Amino acid sequence: MAFRLHWAGSGVFLATEVRVQLHEWLAIVTGTLTPGALIVFVAILAPELLPVTLVGALVYSMFLIGQRVLNEAAYVRIDHKLNELYHASPLSPEGYFVGIAGGMLVAYLPPSLVLLGILQILHPLDAVAGLTLIVCLLAVWAVSSTIGYVVSTLFKDMKTIWPYSALLTNLFGVVPPVFYRLGSVPVEWRSVVLLLPTSAAAVLVDSAAGLEPLTRTEATTAAVALAAEALVLFAFGIYWARRTARER
Amino acid sequence: MTDEPLQAEDVRKVYRGRIGPHVEALRGVSLSIRRGERLSLLGRNGAGKTTFLRIASTLLLPTSGRIHVFGFDVVDEPERVRPLIAVVPQEGKPFFHLTPREQVYCYLRARGIAREIARARTEEALEKMGLLEVADRLSVTLSGGQKQRAMVATVMATEAPLMFLDEPTIGLDPFARRAVWDVLRELTRKGSTVLLTTHYLDEAEALSERLYIVEEGRILFEGTAADAKRQIGGTLRVSIENGGPVRDLFRSFGQTVEEGTALSVITGPERIHEIMDIALRNRLSATVGPVTLEEAFLTIVGRSIDEE
């Protein structure tokens, strides 16, 4: 079989996942708690940094959506064995992966839209900044969803998986300059954090929105790294979905 | 595409553990299923039934051997096999945050079944599985049996040409089990083929036209339930309460099975009078009944264990 992608049924499966998540609306709301709390602290302690924090909250929320893929894919596979129901059906493995990842994106997007609305009020984005934001957020979603899906396939017990979600979210969403400025990072570490998808996305949006300038080299490094990571990882996600649809 | 639902040749599976020994789950299983047939795989826990089912349904790769589903190789052509099959996984559960109606309908739609047909089949499946009353409740609120029925309804509604059901009636009450049996019979009347595993031997007997007994990854027996019973040297079982002092005498009439203080003798109708006569003379309570598939299963598998 050639490496031809089959998407039939993936839209329906995506809609199924959205429906599943919407029945748990409280989980959608509680997803905003961490960035929401940070926004409140910043609003009190350093209101001038609020736009940067809001951009960070958007990037963080998008990464968090990817980590929900980890939990959902693992739960569906380990607790419900529903992956077997779907893998032994015409729905392709790539359709299954994209269905879960897309379902989480659609279901958990509304809180991000609220954050975007607040950002637009406090610091309106022009078309270029808006487009940069959308592209960067999609790239973060692609990276995080793939990481989430791949990690979900590596374990046989939910309890083993839980810490990984928290670890990845903190490693990518809190430690690097997502909620704070690149300028606060020591110079010798800047080239490293520009390679991380979350901080790359945050600094690119900050730069496009005029919140923090980037040198041409920094902008190019961040953009190339983010684009490459998103494309390569998403392609790997599809490969991995196919590989793990059948155990060995 | 051929007309033969499933043809397996010398299928072997070795699970290679990173730590600890390799496990040989299948050791050369060959079997075939005819169109419209209901076939059961019987065996102890860990005998290899689920491994075989998972390989046949494209969920697991074999170490060697071939399985063809309607002529398509499950290893090389999984994308051609998958539209032709549907699977009830062992211990599978529906999405807890969907209702049974949503669960069945969404699955049918994901398989590419048109809206109107999916809607009609969903209602039909829910009705046959006795789920209409709870069709709009989230599955998380359903009982274990209702969840299991929702899984069976999801798969039966596909009307796939070949269905794999791994212990589909586990946890169901006798009425629900019979409802599943009726549905499976109807599906095969319509042309689907069913391969199931079960630990309920009455179910295998009531439902299957043929059965395979698997032990340690090998097929020990292939045939009908009646064939299996004939393998154990008699068609009748005489159960004697407290056979105590004359136990050895009974043993000369055929194979015996001891359960607590009771003794069962497997024998033919020609020797029943003699056995009953001894029982009565010794004032022992005795009953006569047909040999069950469970006794046949225990004997066939037991013989294999003894030989090992």
Which CATH code for domain B233-290? 3.30.70
Quick one: pLDDT band at residue B161, thresholds 50, 70, 90? very high
CA-based torsion, B95, B99, B105, B110: positive or negative: negative
Mean pLDDT along residues A149-161: 92
Quick one: pLDDT band at residue B269, thresholds 50, 70, 90? confident
Quick one: pLDDT band at residue B243, thresholds 50, 70, 90? low
Question: Residue with structure tokens 């008699």?
Answer: B234
Q: Is residue B196 predicted with pLDDT exceeding 60?
A: yes
Q: Is residue B38 predicted with pLDDT exceeding 80?
A: yes
Cα–Cα distances in angstroms (integers) from residue B134 to residues A13, B127, B130, B147, in the given order: 23, 10, 9, 10
Q: Is residue A144 predicted with pLDDT exceeding 90?
A: yes
What pLDDT score does B302 carry? 82
Q: Cβ of A23 and B78 within 8 Å?
A: no
pLDDT in tens, A43-100: 999 999 999 999 999 999 999 998 899 999 999 999 999 999 999 999 999 999 999 9
pLDDT in tens, B208-220: 999 999 999 999 9
Q: Cβ of A16 and B95 within 8 Å?
A: yes
Structure tokens at A155: 């374990």
pLDDT in tens, A13-25: 999 999 999 988 8
Buried b (16+ CB within 10 A) or exposed e, A154-163: eeeeeeebee
pLDDT in tens, B59-79: 999 999 999 999 999 999 999
CB contacts under 8 A, B 225-284 vs A, are none
Q: Cβ of B61 and A79 within 8 Å?
A: no
A26: burial class by Cβ within 10 Å (0-12, 13-18, 19+)? exposed
Q: Cβ of A248 and B61 within 8 Å?
A: yes
> Residue ranges of the domains in chain B?
6-228, 233-290
Cα–Cα dist B233/B97, whole Å: 53
Q: Is residue A150 predicted with pLDDT exceeding 60?
A: yes
Mean pLDDT along residues B191-203: 94
Q: Is residue B232 predicted with pLDDT exceeding 90?
A: no
Quick one: pLDDT band at residue B285, thresholds 50, 70, 90? confident
Question: Residue with structure tokens 């009190």?
Answer: A44
Q: Which residues 6+ apart lie within 8 Å of B46 measured at CB?
A: none
What pLDDT score does A29 carry? 83
What pLDDT score does A106 carry? 96
Strands in B286-290's sheet, in edge-to-edge order, are B255-259, B262-267, B236-240, B286-290
Structure tokens at B4: 């033969």
Q: Is B90 on the interface with A (CB under 8 A)?
A: yes
Q: Which residue of B has its CA nearest to A23?
A: B97
Mean pLDDT along residues A200-229: 97
Q: Are strands B210-215 and B255-259 parallel, antiparallel or unpaired?
A: unpaired
Top CATH class of B6-228 equals alpha beta
Mean pLDDT along residues A216-227: 97
Q: How many CA atoms lie within 13 A of B307 on its CB side?
A: 9
Percent share of chain B, pLDDT over 70: 99
Quick one: which of A11, A197, A32 has its CA closest to A98?
A: A11
| Predicted TM-score (pTM) of this structure | 0.92
First-residue to last-residue Cα distance in chain B: 41
Q: Which residue of A has its CA nearest to B161?
A: A89
Q: Are strands B38-43 and B193-197 parallel, antiparallel or unpaired?
A: parallel
Q: Which residue of B has its CA nearest to A92?
A: B79
The partner residues of B194 in beta bridges, in order of sequence, read B38, B163
Query: Who wins on pLDDT, B300 or A105?
Result: A105
Entry field: residues in chain B: 308
Nearest to B107 among A85, A246, A247 (CB): A85
Q: Is residue B194 predicted with pLDDT exceeding 60?
A: yes
Interface test with A, best of B51, B53, B87, B99 (most A CBs within 10 A): B87
Q: Is B84 on the interface with A (CB under 8 A)?
A: no
Quick one: pLDDT band at residue A245, thresholds 50, 70, 90? very high
What pLDDT score does A72 carry? 95
What pLDDT score does B31 carry? 95
Quick one: pLDDT band at residue A35, thresholds 50, 70, 90? confident
Q: What is the DSSP string of A105-152?
A: HHHHHHHHHHHHHHHHHHS---HHHHHHHHHHHHHHHHHHHHHHHHHH
Q: Is residue B166 predicted with pLDDT exceeding 80?
A: yes
What pLDDT score does A91 carry? 97
> Residue ranges of the domains in chain A?
10-244
Question: Residue with structure tokens 């003794």?
Answer: B263
Q: Which residue of B has its CA nearest to A96?
A: B110
Q: Is residue B246 predicted with pLDDT exceeding 80?
A: no
Q: What is the DSSP string of A72-116?
A: HHHIIIIIS-HHHHHHTSSS-HHHHHHHHHHHHHHHHHHHHHHHH
Quick one: pLDDT band at residue A3, thresholds 50, 70, 90? low
Average model confidence (pLDDT) across chain A:
93
Average model confidence (pLDDT) across chain B:
92
Q: Cβ of A12 and B106 within 8 Å?
A: yes
What pLDDT score does A136 carry? 98
Q: Cβ of B60 and A247 within 8 Å?
A: yes
What pLDDT score does B244 carry? 64
Quick one: pLDDT band at residue B266, thresholds 50, 70, 90? confident
Q: Is residue B237 predicted with pLDDT exceeding 90?
A: no
What pLDDT score does A1 carry? 46
CA distance B146 to chain A (A): 15
Q: B80-94, B146-160, B162-176, B252-266: which has the minimum mean pLDDT?
A: B252-266
Mean pLDDT along residues A16-36: 86
Q: Is residue A2 predicted with pLDDT exceeding 70?
A: no
